[in-house]
Amino acid sequence: MKVFMGKAALAALLVASSAGAQDAKAQRPAAQQAQVRDAVKLPKATVLELKNGAKLLLVEKREVPMVSFSAKVRGGALGDPEGKEGLAALTAEMLQKGAGSRDARQFAEAVDSVGGSISVSPGREGLDVYGQFMSRDTALMVELLSDLLMRPRFEPAELDKTRERMVSELAAVKDGDLRGIIGTYFQAFHFGTHPYGRPVGGSEASLATLKREDVLAYAKAHLGGDRLILSVVGDIDAKKLAKQLEAALGGWARASTPAPVAPPTQATKGRRVLLVDKPDATQTYFWAGNTGIARTDPARVDVALANTVLGGRFTSLLNTALRIKSGLSYGAGSLVMRDTQPGAFAVSSYTKTESTGKALDLALEVLASYRQKGMDDAMLASAREYMMGQFPPTLETSLQIASKLSELAFYGLDASDVDDFAAQVASSDKARIQAAIQRVVPSGDDLTVVLIGKAADIRDVARKYGTVTEMSITDPHFAPRAAVKK
């Protein structure tokens, strides 16, 4: 069935979070009071730390006979040596290609045959491992997970095959919907040599050079018990499972190097434009932004409210201007990417080639006006309701809860990030939000702009926004070599 999502237009990524304790103010409307009262709470987890440093968080949620897990293994693309971007990603793929007594095929059979799932995806600062099994298969799940983490085979033939496929996938993705890839160009261009500029999945150029020795070296340096946070939620006996996991994972040696730490990021000054030429494009895709906030930023709830109004929902200022009022685009939004250090804050949209300048101008006007005026009382009231109303469904399934537990532990946050969220939102203050806007929403003078489209038609338009660097979509890197080297 071919389906068109008529309204799922926002490219926005609104990750709700909450700051430290602040008293909820009285005098809220009845609906808000009800929402604070009904607010979703994170279930209490049984927490264990193994001798090797592995952290386990277990929650019994026994309504359905299924069990979900979310593991984070600290390191990720931060552990990629310079020039070897994508090494963590290749390692992540290889973890699924045979481990313990099973080769790649047998491993896939073992997972599929019981209707289970395990996937490893590389992140900027860690590898994420997710899975879900019927609870009757919990023992098998523990066996497969510990094999995958502790006893990967890294077979040479599988490795060559996997690497070749990853290179091809990167080329192929550029033939598809460019909304999926423009962020990689933006971050590579914006963060340059900082590790946050590295394409997490690697580039066609860097992946092609990776060898088995590189993967073995990465695994030795960055896989180990001390790097692991594992949350398991579902129809489990927490005590029994804790013992099983301790037996299975307690012997995992520590990684041979300390976990890599991202150096601080900063906002850039001035305007720079990257134009990625795709000669057959009939539509231009763009991101414009700068450096925003970290996951643990004390003002993160204020920023989330600010982002909701600017570009985090359908009636946001950006979507209203570019879609609802002008019909220039199917969608416009803003996004906040948050890691241990501040990540990107950007506005994003797309429009037919001929209206590239008009759409980008409009987006930047909204940005400038918002920075100057902020939000009014009605917008704030609405954004509060929206954020409180939409938060509970983000913690509906056992996998969502497991992911949240691992995420909080990874960033050193606690349950208050969830439990106090509604109260935090309800008590938000306009002046404080305005201060957050001033700090986080970039000024029009200091912007990184990335455009992907038909360069022959939009080259002159691009020049209006700053010094233009140009590259081709077929270039095997995600940023021009000179720009990355600076």
Partner 1 sequence: MFRQKLLVTGLMLLAGSAACAQGRAVRTETSSTATAAQKPGANVRTKTLKNGLKIIVWSDPDNPSISLFNWFRVGSRNERPGITGLSHFFEHMMFNGAKKYGPGEFDRVMEAHGGRNNAYTSEDVTVYMDGFPRSALETIFDLEADRLQYLSIDPKVVESERGVVYSERRSSVDNNNAGLLMEQVQSTAFVAHPYQIPTIGWPSDIESWKQEDLERYFRTYYAPNNATLIVVGAVTPEEIFSLAEKYLEPIPAQPAPEPVRTQEPPQQGERRVVVRKLAQAPLLQMAFHGFNASNPDAPALELLVRILTGGDSSRLHRRLVEEEQVAIHVEGYRSAGFDPGLTWLLVDLPPGGDLGKTETLLDEELGKVVSGGVTDAELRKAKNIVVADFWRHLETNSGRAQALGTYEVFHGDWQKLFSAPTQYEAVTREQVRKVAEKVFTKNNRTVGVLVPEAAAEAKKEAAR
Contact, 311 vs 304, CB < 8 A?
A: no
Q: Is 66 in the site for partner 1 (CB under 8 A)?
A: yes
Name which of residues 110 to 169 contact partner 1 (CB under 8 A).
111-116, 132, 134-136, 161, 164-165, 167-169
67-88: b (≥16 Cβ within 10 Å) or e: bbbbbbbbbbbbbbeeebbbbb
Considering only residues 55, 163, 295, 313, which one is a binding residue for partner 1 as defined by CB under 8 A? 313
Considering only residues 187, 334, 351, 356, which one is a binding residue for partner 1 as defined by CB under 8 A? 351
Which residues partner with 334 through β-bridges? 347
Among all chains, which residue has been given the structure tokens 């490893």?
120
Q: Residue 53 or residue 392: which is nearer to partner 1 going by CB? A: 392
- Residue 22 burial (CB < 10 Å; 0-12/13-18/19+)? middle
Q: Is 327 in the site for partner 1 (CB under 8 A)?
A: yes
Q: Which helix (H) or strand (E) holds 435?
A: helix 430-440
Q: Is 324 in the site for partner 1 (CB under 8 A)?
A: yes
Among all chains, which residue has been given the structure tokens 């913690």?
395
User: What's the min distance (Å) between Cβ of 206 and partner 1?
Assistant: 17
Considering only residues 90, 104, 188, 288, which one is a binding residue for partner 1 as defined by CB under 8 A? 104
User: What's the min distance (Å) between Cβ of 28 and partner 1?
Assistant: 12
Q: Is 46 in the site for partner 1 (CB under 8 A)?
A: no
Q: Enumerate residues 6+ apart whose C-beta is below 8 A from 392.
A: 38, 39, 40
Number of residues that bind partner 1 (CB under 8 A): 89
Q: Where does residue 338 fall: left (phi above 0), alpha (psi -120 to 50 degrees), or beta otherwise?
A: beta
Q: Residue 263 or residue 279: which is nearer to partner 1 going by CB? A: 279
Contact, 14 vs 345, CB < 8 A?
A: no
Sole window of 35-43, 210-218, 257-265, 478-486 interacting with partner 1 (rule: CB under 8 A): 35-43
Among all chains, which residue has been given the structure tokens 């439990």?
419
Q: Is 171 in the site for partner 1 (CB under 8 A)?
A: yes
The 3-state DSSP class for residue 278 equals: coil
Among all chains, which residue has been given the structure tokens 């060898």?
211
Compute the CA torsion angle 271, 170, 411, 53 (nearest 10 deg): -140
Q: Is 1 in the site for partner 1 (CB under 8 A)?
A: yes
Cα distance between residue 335 and residue 219, in whole Å = 32
Q: Residue 5 or residue 21: which is nearer to partner 1 going by CB? A: 5
- Strands 271-277 and 228-234 turn out to be unpaired
User: What's the min distance (Å) between Cβ of 384 and partner 1?
Assistant: 9
Sole window of 74-82, 147-155, 264-272, 327-335 interacting with partner 1 (rule: CB under 8 A): 327-335
Q: Enumerate residues 6+ apart whose C-beta is below 8 A from 447.
A: 271, 272, 288, 289, 290, 364, 465, 466
Q: Is 174 in the site for partner 1 (CB under 8 A)?
A: yes
Q: Residue 37 or residue 485: which is nearer to partner 1 going by CB? A: 37
Q: Residue 39 or residue 303: which is nearer to partner 1 going by CB? A: 39
Sole window of 81-89, 262-270, 279-287, 428-436 interacting with partner 1 (rule: CB under 8 A): 279-287
Sole window of 26-34, 224-232, 426-434, 441-449 interacting with partner 1 (rule: CB under 8 A): 26-34
Q: Residue 268: what are its φ and ψ, rounded to 5°? A: -95, 160
Q: Is 27 in the site for partner 1 (CB under 8 A)?
A: no
Considering only residues 46, 52, 151, 179, which one is a binding residue for partner 1 as defined by CB under 8 A? 179
Name which of residues 428 to 457 contact partner 1 (CB under 8 A).
none
Q: Residue 200 or residue 322: which is nearer to partner 1 going by CB? A: 322
Sole window of 15-23, 103-111, 224-232, 258-266 interacting with partner 1 (rule: CB under 8 A): 103-111
Structure tokens at 426: 């309800």
User: What's the min distance (Å) between Cβ of 117 and partner 1?
Assistant: 8
Sole window of 142-150, 223-231, 348-356, 402-410 interacting with partner 1 (rule: CB under 8 A): 348-356
User: What's the min distance (Å) between Cβ of 203 and partner 1?
Assistant: 14
User: What's the min distance (Å) between Cβ of 50 and partner 1?
Assistant: 27
The conformation of residue 81, written as its DSSP 8-state character, comes to P
Name which of residues 385 to 404 contact partner 1 (CB under 8 A).
385-386, 388-390, 392-393, 396-398, 401
Q: Residue 110: what are its φ and ψ, rounded to 5°? A: -60, -40
- Strands 447-453 and 271-277 turn out to be parallel
Cα distance between residue 238 and residue 480, in whole Å = 51
Q: Is 2 in the site for partner 1 (CB under 8 A)?
A: yes
Q: Residue 213 or residue 280: which is nearer to partner 1 going by CB? A: 280
Structure tokens at 204: 């066609």
Cα distance between residue 31 and residue 48, in whole Å = 39
